[in-house]
Amino acid sequence: MDALAIAVAAVGLILASQEHVLAGAMVSVSALVGLAVALFRRDSRRPATILPFSFGSHFVVMPVCFLGAAVLQAHAGVVSAALFGFSIYYYACVALAERKVRYVPWAGGLGLSWRTAEMSERPVVYWSMVALCWGMSATFLGLALAGAARLGRS
């Protein structure tokens, strides 16, 4: 299901670059939101995915996305913004699938130790971090969508 959602989101970017911005945005957003909702389901019927959606896999996906963004600096940053946005989106999906987030509390000094907030134990921290990830992801993916739309007009 994850490969299908990512492919549909890419089709949305292509639609936006072909001057169908609203349709492209709706296709991309609905595919990515649908995957997140499917991963968050509480019952045992979680979708079959290719990507493992675990914290360990995020530390593989993140550098791959950053390397891809560095290598594929074409099309005025559309690809870079999409890959950065996907990296953050993937972490948010991991947090939803595992029902916990890992973070570094920068306000507590320079201690670089990870902390974990589970949804059941510290819901405010958990949902704050998930919302922060969704906001950052939406910003980068929105920039990619806007860049694709701008490329379609030129």
Dihedral angle, C-alpha 13, 14, 18, 23, nearest 10 °: -50
Please tell me the predicted confidence (pLDDT) of residue 120. 94
State which residues form the domain around 75.
Answer: 2-153
Q: Hunting for tokens 């990870």 — which residue is that?
A: 114
Q: Provide the CA 37 distance to its chain's centre, in angstroms.
A: 13
Compute mean pLDDT per 10 residues along the chain, 154 residues long, and list them.
90 88 92 91 77 89 87 73 91 93 72 83 94 94 87 72
Note the pLDDT of residue 69: 82
pLDDT at 123: 95
Closest CA to 95 of 118, 73, 115: 118
pLDDT in tens, 101-132: 988 776 555 666 788 999 999 999 999 999 99
The runs of H, that is alpha helices, within the chain are 2-17, 21-40, 55-71, 78-98, 123-153
Q: Is the dihedral of CA 116, 119, 122, 127 positive or negative?
A: positive
pLDDT at position 114: 80
> Could you give the number of structural domains in the chain?
1
